[in-house]
Amino acid sequence: MQVQELLKTNSVASKFIAQLRDIKVQGDRMRFRRNIERLGEILAYELSKELNYTRKEIETPLGKSAIPLPEDELVICSILRAGLPLHQGLLNYFDDAENSFISAYRHHPDNDENFEILVEYLASPSLEGKTLILADPMLATGRSFSNVLKALEPMGQPAKIHLVSVIGSDEGIEYLKSVFPENSKLWIATIDHELDKNGYIVPGLGDAGDLCFGNKLQH
């Protein structure tokens, strides 16, 4: 699996990441969601450079113009609920894509730091021969992405898989390299180097789902 890290090159994306991390700013849920959405747009633009294109002739009021247009059949699959703003950012650019939604969350059976990733809901079109874009803003252990990939197997074999995330960990990325196809690619804004004992990214930004939509009851 290839990895493309956005913040290896200076850009306005750094400002959006800074605001997402900043405890004094992230209390503004609308701005938090919008910053994830904007990063989704930037990552979509970068990802678009690797799609397949066919030159088509477009008629204008004054003549004709041959323009390369993307030909991939895209399916954007987001992990609920934190993935929704990221999904919207991707959809803003890939507006004719099909859409898939799946729930994946941490379940602590013994009410301690040990957890498992549970998948309980899936709505998806066929993936056979299509380009699958998996979106989740936080890539901590990598188990959510891998469990979602397994849950999607009955939907068909995609021709190519792209993963899109905002902040990830070295450990999670190394794990994904062991379970995803070699020709898949991860598009990520920035990578942190540490996970704490609870499997959260450090320094990270906290719980993206709660910061987007408010605290949830545990079950």
Angle at 105 (CA atoms; ends 170, 101), nearest 5 degrees: 100
Q: Is residue 213 part of a domain?
A: no
Q: What is the pLDDT of residue 9?
A: 95
> DSSP code of 210?
H
Q: Which two tokens stand for residue 209?
A: 């789902």
Note whether residue 195 is domain-resident: yes
Number of separate domains in the chain: 1
- Residue 144's closest CA among 123, 110, 168, 127? 168
93 inside domain: yes
Question: Across-strand partners of 65?
Answer: 58
217: in domain: no
Whether the CB-CB separation of 77 and 134 falls below 8 Å is answered with yes
Provide the residue range defining the domain that includes 187.
Answer: 2-52+72-207
Distance CA(39)–CA(208), nearest Å, equals 14
Distances (CA, A) of 102 to 23, 82, 149, 196: 29, 11, 10, 26
Q: Which residues contact 123 (CB under 8 A, 6 or more apart)?
A: 100, 101, 102
Task: Give the DSSP letter of residue 9.
Answer: S
The 10 Å CB-count burial string (b at 16+, else e) for 120-150 is eebebeebeebbbbbbbbbbbbbbbbbbbbe
H or E element: which one contains 42? helix 29-48
Domain with residue 32: its CATH number is 3.40.50.2020
Q: How far apart are the first and last CA of the chain?
A: 34
**198 in a structural domain:** yes
* 115 is a domain residue: yes
What tens-digit pLDDT sequence spans the chain (219 residues)? 999 999 999 999 999 999 999 999 999 999 999 999 999 999 999 999 999 999 999 999 999 999 999 999 999 999 888 899 999 999 999 999 999 999 876 544 555 455 455 667 889 999 999 999 999 999 999 988 998 999 999 999 999 999 999 999 999 999 999 999 999 999 999 999 999 988 889 999 999 989 999 887 654
- The answer to whether position 59 is within a domain reads no
For residue 153, the number of C-alpha atoms closer than 13 Å in the C-beta half-sphere is 5
63 forms beta bridges with 60
How remote is the C-alpha of 81 from its chain's centroid? 12
pTM: 0.90
CB-based contact 104:55 (threshold 8 Å)? no
Q: Domain for residue 212, yes or no?
A: no
